[in-house]
Structure 1
Amino acid sequence: MWQVKLSRALRSMTGCAKTYVVQFAEAQGFAHVHFHIVPRMEDLQPEHRGPGIFELLRRPEQERVSADQADQIAHSLRAQLRGHPNTQ
């Protein structure tokens, strides 16, 4: 249920066309499951759709979301999930 709620919140915040839910549990020495919920924008190039989305992590730093922007997004998502979409 949390994946659906988070996907809906991301769509509401970003206007994304879809969200990708990716699960990893491969790393040796880690006894937990790791999830990524990734917004997929409408204009994303075909080569970056599906698993190709992770190629965007190789883009130059100035083309990526900054740490401050990521924190802002996370705070906004938390507020939206708590029912307070206009607060951070």
Structure 2
Amino acid sequence: MDCYTCVRTGDPEGLPPRESIAGDEHWRVAHAFGSALPGWLVLLPRRHVTAVAELTDAEAAGLGTWQVRLSRALAEVTGCAKTYVAQFAEAEGFAHVHFHVVPRSPDQPEELRGPRVFGLLGKDAAAAVGPEEMDRLAVRLRAALAAG
């Protein structure tokens, strides 16, 4: 299978903290890679799904709960004013449905608000949040989710 998400989800025990922040039988939470914004999360179904309409009722029931829980944890850990939630799943190799849960800081520049925040995704390694920072945030987010 040529699906990055399915390949990564296949070995959940071998994933670093940034790729397995939280989850349940239907969903896995990871930090987005190539993002210049610390705390940019992706919520991924554990099975291969390419359209929201393909979600089972059980998967759909958990979706809203996860989005709210992640938004609360991000507010606690990053101090964000709100979160943006978006789903496209159109990029080559990333047709697997995934939801972006993006923290918007209180002082985020106007030119990076709303859909323009996607200007912070797809960055090269020099501009992106590093693996150590993603892992550090993952540990803090796990603790906030456990407490909340």
Match of residue 73, structure 1, among 117, 123, 137: 137
> Is there any run of 5+ residues in structure 1 with no aligned partner, and where?
none
Match of residue 99, structure 2, among 28, 32, 35: 35
Q: TM-score w.r.t. structure 1 length?
A: 0.77
Moved over 4 A (4+): 27-31
Coordinate RMSD, CA, aligned: 2.4
Percent of residue pairs identical: 57
Shift of 1:16: 0.6
Q: Structure 1 residues 52, 76: CA separation in 2 closer, same or farther (over 3 Å shift)? A: same
Shift of 1:29: 6.3
Say whether residues 1:11 and 2:85 are aligned partners: no
Match of residue 126, structure 2, among 43, 61, 71: 61
Distance in 2 between the 1:60 and 1:25 partners?
A: 22
Q: Deviations over 1:46-82 (max 9, x none)?
A: 11001111112348825x4221101111121112111
- Taking CA–CA contacts closer than 8 Å with sequence separation of 6 or more, which of the two structures ends up with the larger relative contact order? 2
Distance in 2 between the 1:25 and 1:59 partners?
A: 20
Q: TM-score w.r.t. structure 2 length?
A: 0.49
Q: Structure 1 residues 65, 30: CA separation in 2 closer, same or farther (over 3 Å shift)? A: closer
Q: Count the aligned residue pairs.
A: 83
Q: Structure 1 residues 26, 77: CA separation in 2 closer, same or farther (over 3 Å shift)? A: same
